């Protein structure tokens, strides 16, 4: 389950955090890009072992959750940059046969057909990665555990805006909801 690995949280180019947030306020900087590079390997391994890959990311045109609307945070971008903001980054772009779901809440499970799709395919284990460890990844992991899926989180393929938030949430998820590897 690849959660929210799109350009608005990474920027269109690889830049350090404090440089990247000047243009992309939700950016996670180079740590985010490092996680994307690791996710390339994770997806290659999943596909090589016939493990289905599911992507979730924000529903365009829907009022986002949280304190400030995405359109307000990205109002300074060009039309082309705004159009790319919600696209899954090219390095890990979906392939034919991958499932891509749009979500209107932090969790990949809330308001999406993910549970039905997993049940239909007899899947009882979900391996999660993506952005942010403390936000959408955590919300998805908690909801997945609530639905009684065996949840896993790949540490190197998750990222957040701060290391503290990343590691505290990994620790907490490992203690309660998932196997963090």
Q: Which residues are catalytically annotated?
A: 136
Beta bridge partners, 55, equal: 2, 100
β-sheet with 125-131: strand ranges across:
99-103, 54-58, 2-3, 125-131, 150-159, 178-180
User: Three-state DSSP class for 54?
Assistant: strand
Phi/psi for 60 (5° steps) reads -70, 140
DSSP sequence for 88-157: BPGGG---TT-EEEEESSSSSSTTSSHHHHHHHTT--EEEEEEE-IIIIIHHHHHHHHHTTPEEEEEEEE
């Amino acid at each position: 389950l690849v959660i929210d690995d799109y350009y608005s949280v990474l920027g269109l180019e690889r830049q350090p955090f404090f440089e990247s947030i000047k243009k992309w306020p939700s950016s996670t900087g180079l740590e985010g890009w490092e996680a994307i590079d690791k996710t390339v390997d994770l997806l290659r391994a999943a596909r090589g072992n016939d493990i289905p890959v599911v992507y979730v990311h924000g529903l365009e045109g829907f009022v986002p959750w949280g304190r400030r609307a995405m359109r307000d945070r990205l109002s300074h971008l060009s039309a082309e940059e705004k159009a790319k903001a919600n696209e899954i980054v090219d390095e890990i772009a979906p392939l034919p046969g991958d499932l891509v779901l749009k979500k209107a809440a932090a969790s990949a499970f809330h308001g999406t057909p993910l549970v039905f799709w997993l049940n239909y395919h007899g899947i009882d284990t979900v391996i999660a990665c993506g952005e942010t460890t403390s936000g959408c990844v955590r919300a998805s992991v908690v909801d997945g555990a609530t639905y009684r899926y065996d949840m896993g989180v790949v540490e190197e393929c998750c990222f957040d805006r701060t290391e503290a938030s990343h590691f505290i949430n990994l620790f907490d998820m490992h203690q309660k909801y998932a196997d963090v590897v």
